[in-house]
Structure 1
Amino acid sequence: MKKIIVINKPSHWGLDIPGVDVISPRRYLSDSGFSKLRNVRVFNLSNDYAYQTRGYYVSLLAEARGHKVVPSVKNILDLRERALVKSVSDDLDDLIQKSLKRIRSQEFVLSIYFGQNISIQYARLAKELHKLFQAPFLRARFVHNGRKWEVFSIRTIPFKEVPEHHLPYLENFAIEYFKRKRYDLARPGKYIYDLAILVNPDETSPPSNKKALAAFEEAASKLGCYVEFITKEDYNRIGEFDALLIRETTAVNHHTYRMARRAQSEGLAVLDSPDSILKCANKVYLTELLRNAKIPTPKTLVLLSDNPRDADSLGFPCVLKLPDSSFSQGVVKVNSKEEFKDKVKEMLKASDLLIAQEFMPTDYDWRVGILNNEVLFVCRYYMASGHWQIYNWNSKKKSEVEGNFDIIEPADAPVQVLEIALKATRLIGNGLYGVDIKELDGKPFVIEINDNPNIDAGVEDGLLKEEIYRKIVLFLLEQINGSALKQLPDDKGRNKKLKNSLF
């Protein structure tokens, strides 16, 4: 990837950074040759990023040209948002207090160059601020309000304002920065796109097992993608990629949502999209959404902390759910009014709202996988041995934590199950979803919609095999560019068939 530093006076740069071209904003904006370049990374070090200045237009036109640019226009605008700066104080409060506890003055200024500071004691704070505000040079101003330290402002630093005695450090930071970044490596010629797959190596029950992740990597590679598995620590690297596939359990108040949102704002194709995470992760939202769309669900009550209703209308046993529960965690069955009151009181300590739902005993739940408003797979998940849920996290036998499953042809599944699944997901979007459905006396009831459904080797891929991974990657590539599929390598004619069937 070609790397370009844009700075007001290139002759004043004076730093030796291998493999980097240094040019002026005027040249970048006026030389039509730059608009024709592809696979370019631009580092905008202009003196001023104010609206409609040359610095602002460097980032704006870089994005229009399809160049990866730091800072992006969104980053530039974020730096002006006082509310966002205040949220930084809240999010990083412990780190700020710990880092600045030895400062005796009432004000402190931290200079950040490529995510680092010249003093090691502020290294972590500098790194975290750089993750949030993707600009090469930042100046964070802190004030002490008499009780604790707060972020007063965060601004970019024009190169001309970098103190001379900081320049040797800045040069070392820059060399290290460009050296360690993935985009500093030569991308093999067969790859057209960069795909990041977000995983959590420590997750007990991830949405894709290791074999499935390997299958995603293989499918993407065949379709012209360089694949890199990333973790939450790579938040500040999102802009390096063309697409993000999340294969970690998602939640709203969580790094998965923040990374999805960041990726979307950087123009990446994202699966799951932040909108899907936001809508599917909260059962209170889904309850209202499905009810208004007149989609059958078990009888459901929303319980408020200041008015926890009883469950007489649901009968006993009934089920209590935390709004953001997943994989059967945060979900309990209560068998009496007394147990209901005790559990509600306990669970309301974690959330102001709860879901109480009619208990529907069945031997299995349907899971319908949907991609781009088409059925991708159909599974029957059976209840764990001796348990009322698919997962029994309290089981002492590992073999009995999960129930068995059947993967079946969509054509063999009940039509009413498929229809209600498609109707439900159309309320959310056109991404990848897993709809959990119970069927009683031939009538389907939607239990929930999952934005991050399991795609495990040996389970959900039981019928489609490698094709399921190809379809998901193809969907992402279509989001990058409407004409992207025209560039894909033909794998023995199968691409053409898949393109026609999907798109």
Structure 2
Amino acid sequence: MRICLLTSRPDHPLLEGARRALAPRHQVVAADPDASHGSPAAPAPDPPSADVYLLKTRTPRALALAHRLERRGARVLNSASATELCQDRARMAEVAGKAGLPFPRTRAYDCPSRIAGDIGELGFPLMVKSRRSARLDVVARIDDREGLSALARSRPGHPVVVQRFVENDGWDRKLWVVDTQVYAGLRPTPLADPLPVGDKSLTEPLDPADVPEAWTALALRAGRAFGLQVYGVDLIERDGAPVIVDVNAFPGMRGMDGAPEALAALAVSAGSGR
């Protein structure tokens, strides 16, 4: 079987570990949809033919390529549409709400300055996030009008979503899922300033056995709702109950023992049509 990695980082620990697990019996190739091929606006060239493609990138060219492969009948994990869905935090909230998942009420604005007119209804504190999830996006707690004005000045014309701040213990519970295998970690919640999200090296692995079964079940429900097979769910605890604050497609899962092998098994299963 041939498995193709759609990524700019085939050496990523998760992918490299999966490649090693697959190597004895399967061929693993890689293609970077964003490698230079003439004009940046030009479509990504076709990658090598494969039984399954693992989409560990979310750039516009990569997503366009994934859609093109799917129209031809190729199997792509995660699908292009599911990957796109996880990039739009407004759509994410809509899907979570329809699925009955615990998720903060979310409003979308085309720029931070638009929020001021609704402060009387929204109140403080607020969580303000970039509408589009991406590297170096905004994830900020805003406590007053001065903070909101500062954000508006620093990010003019930047689409955002706004949520009422959920009181919590200051920690994100990171649940990562490959098919139905669940892995877990603990990371400080990014709260203070309109700055990039925190250093991922701060994640402390957790024994999945120490994660409440209800939380694990919630992560699996989220995967079904969003149509994902390889994904992460960020949870915070409010009054002893979990609240989902983010869902992301194909996270790195660094340091999660067994995750590369689970990814390899999923790739083989998908490539075999199971």
**Structure-2-length-normalised TM-score:** 0.81
After superposition, the C-alpha distances for 1:193-221 in whole angstroms (9 at most, x for unaligned) are 222212225xxxxxx86433321211121
Give runs of aligned pairs for residues 94-493 of structure 1, distance below 5 A: 193-201=1-9, 210-222=12-24, 224-232=25-33, 233=35, 235-238=44-47, 240-248=49-57, 250-251=58-59, 254-303=60-109, 308=115, 309-326=117-134, 329-341=137-149, 343-344=151-152, 347=155, 349-351=157-159, 354-360=160-166, 361-372=168-179, 374-383=180-189, 388=191, 393=196, 401-402=199-200, 404-456=202-254, 459-461=255-257, 464=258, 468-482=259-273
Q: How many angstroms apart in 1 are the aligned matches of 2:188 and 2:84? A: 28
Q: How many angstroms apart in 2 are the aligned matches of 1:444 and 1:328? A: 26
**Aligned to 1:324, what secondary structure does the other structure show?**
coil
> Whose RCO is larger (CA < 8 A, sep 6+)?
2
Do the aligned partners of 2:140 and 2:191 also contact (CA within 8 Å) in 1? no
How far off is 1:316 after superposition? 2.5
**Aligned to 2:260, what secondary structure does the other structure show?**
helix
**Aligned to 2:119, what secondary structure does the other structure show?**
coil
Q: Structure 1 runs of 4+ off > 4 angstroms? A: 304-309, 344-348, 391-394
Q: How many angstroms apart in 2 are the aligned matches of 1:293 and 1:221? A: 39
Aligned letter for 2:177?
I
Q: How many angstroms apart in 2 are the aligned matches of 1:328 and 1:282? A: 15
How big is the alpha-carbon RMSD for the aligned residues of Structure 1 and Structure 2?
3.0
After superposition, the C-alpha distances for 1:47-83 in whole angstroms (9 at most, x for unaligned) are xxxxxxxxxxxxxxxxxxxxxxxxxxxxxxxxxxxxx
Count of matched residue pairs: 262
Larger radius of gyration: 1
Gaps of 5+ in 2: 38-43
How far off is 1:442 after superposition? 0.8
Amino-acid identity (%): 19
Partner of 2:40: none
Question: Going by fraction, where is helix more abundant, 1 or 2?
Answer: 1
After superposition, the C-alpha distances for 1:451-497 in whole angstroms (9 at most, x for unaligned) are 121222xx223xx2xxx2232122222222336xxxxxxxxxxxxxx
**Aligned to 1:426, what secondary structure does the other structure show?**
helix
Aligned letter for 2:17?
A
After superposition, the C-alpha distances for 1:284-311 in whole angstroms (9 at most, x for unaligned) are 1011111223322234323356964423
**Structure-1-length-normalised TM-score:** 0.47
Instruction: Give the 3 Å change call, closer, same or farther, for CA 403–217 of structure 1 in structure 2.
Output: closer
